[in-house]
Amino acid sequence: MDRIRIRGGQPLQGRLAIAGAKNAALPLMAACLLTDETLTLSNLPHLADIATMAHLLGELGVQVTMDGSGPDGGQAGRVLQLTATDVRDVTAPYDLVRKMRASVLVLGPMLARFGRSRVSLPGGCAIGTRPVDLHLKAMAQLGAEIELKEGYIEARAPRGLCGNRVVFPFVTVGGTENALMAAALAKGETVLTNAAREPEIADLAHCLIAMGAEIEGIGSDTLTVQGRERLHGARHAVLPDRIETGTYAMAAAITGGSLDLVGARQEHIAALTEVLRRAGAEVTPTASGLQVSRRNGPIRGVDVMTEPYPGFPTDLQAQFMALMAVAEGAAMVTETVFENRFMHVPELARMGADINVHGASAIIRGVHKLSGAPVMATDLRASVSLVLAGLAAEGETILNRVYHLDRGYERLEEKLVACGADIERLRY
Ligand code: UD1
């Protein structure tokens, strides 16, 4: 299994290109199932999760064609052409869903177009139980019959889905995406209330509109969809990854460096930039994106609570905790979106961080220096928080189980080395 070795202490300097957003790309890829024409997606990141989704779609019978890596040798995102003309299977099997929970995003589009969909129940995962009950409730409200059988969700709507009012009792990103895709092919009007407002939802809505859907309320918590009998092919470019942006913003801050994040969209990480400024970093919009630096003075402790968008993202919580581990003073980080999303805490503690967890909150008392140590990645964002800690620590950090990182960070070592980090992958 590959490992990553980091020798800490180098301030990061330079330009770093932000890739297309993984969490936008996955539902966009699933949206190809809504039409028999070709959906062409560009600016897709080079990631294991994208390959898993392409594999799943291929298994269902979607023709997946990759349009090379672009003229710059793969620096720009990939282009995929997805054609779901001859879908031969409507089953998303356990092996793929277990590997990537976002596989459940094929449920809504298959059900809406073929009247049938069979998706393995994802089961537990490292960051809590993460059920899909709200996805199923939304499908039932659109007229589907749902049965749970032998570990599979069996959804049927032989006469098609019917528009309805769907009220989410709390915000779910994946649930909103599944319902939005299903509603696009349902009969009549659907109103999604308390819908998630993440930029990835807006990206999906814009792509659906390009495919012929009619959606109002984009960016708000109420999405109104006029169902269409059929959708058509379209071309769509995936928006830049706000979580990758935020992660590298914190890499600049934790190492006392300065990074130009090319392609970054400040408006998508406003909650983070506000907190970073309070913590003592400079965040400046530029013509090409965003510059984040910390040239003078220490990082200060700032309290943060994770919330659905536009609040502070749970996907940046672990990285922020690494930053607070070296702050002057204390910080309280409260996780409200997922249960059990503090697995990085014992690993950060191995590097000298002083963190106490009480229920959903953690108190971090900043230390002067972290020290390098062998650590273990437990999930995607936890792993990258250990990379950030390693970049700031004295000495050598060895990160084990790096396959988590490959799910969500494109060419991480390459991007960091180009900005002066001493980091390499040890291949086994
Ligand atoms: C998406 C993101 C993930 C991010 C999360 C929250 C993708 C591929 N993944 O995950 O990176 O951390 O949003 O911003 O976009 N829940 C239920 N029942 C459901 C659905 C969700 O109880 O049917 C709960 C979850 O367990 C969690 C909360 O709702 O506690 C939010 O989850 P949700 O927004 O659905 O996250 P995902 O779409 O899985």
Q: Which atom of ligand 1 is nearest to the CA of 339?
A: 30
- Give the pLDDT score at 349: 97
Instruction: Please give the distance, rounded to the nearest whole angstrom, from the Cα atom of residue 173 to the centre of ligand 1.
Output: 6
12-35 burial: b if 16+ Cβ within 10 Å, else e: bbeebbbbbbbbbbbbbbbbbbbb
> Ligand 1: distance of its center to the CA of 308 in Å?
10
**Residue 243 CA, closest ligand 1 atom number:** 11
**Ligand 1 atom closest to 174 (CA):** 38
Ligand 1 atom 11 nearest Cα: 315
Residue 71: the pLDDT is 46
As given in the structure block, the two tokens for residue 242 are 């706000």
Q: What are phi and psi of 320, to 5 degrees?
A: -65, -35
Would you call 398 exposed, middle or buried from its count of C-beta atoms within 10 A (0-12, 13-18, 19+)? middle
Structure pTM?
0.96
Contact 30, 106 (CB under 8 A): yes
Which residue's CA is the nearest one to ligand 1's atom 5?
Answer: 173
Tokens 């706000």 belong to which residue? 242
Residue-level pLDDT at 73:
47
Strands 165-167, 354-358: pairing is unpaired
Q: What share of the chain is helix, strand, coil (3-state, %, to 5)?
A: 35, 30, 35
Span from the CA of 427 to the centroid of ligand 1 (angstroms): 33
Write out residues in the chain with pLDDT < 70, as ranges.
68-76, 123-129
Alpha-carbon torsion angle 400, 302, 244, 411, nearest 10: -40
Q: Ligand 1: distance of its center to the CA of 338 in Å?
A: 8
Q: Residue 134 CA: which ligand 1 atom is closest?
A: 23
**How crowded is residue 338: how many other Cβ atoms within 10 Å of its Cβ?**
18
**Atom 15, ligand 1: residue with shortest CA distance:** 23
Residues having CB within 6 Å of any atom of ligand 1: 23, 26, 101-102, 128, 130-135, 172-175, 314-315, 337-338
Q: Which of 394, 345, 392, 400 is nearest to 375 (CA)?
A: 400
Give catalytic residue positions.
125
Q: Each residue of 92-111: pLDDT tens digit?
A: 999 999 889 999 999 999 99
**Contact 301/364 with Cβ under 8 angstroms?**
yes
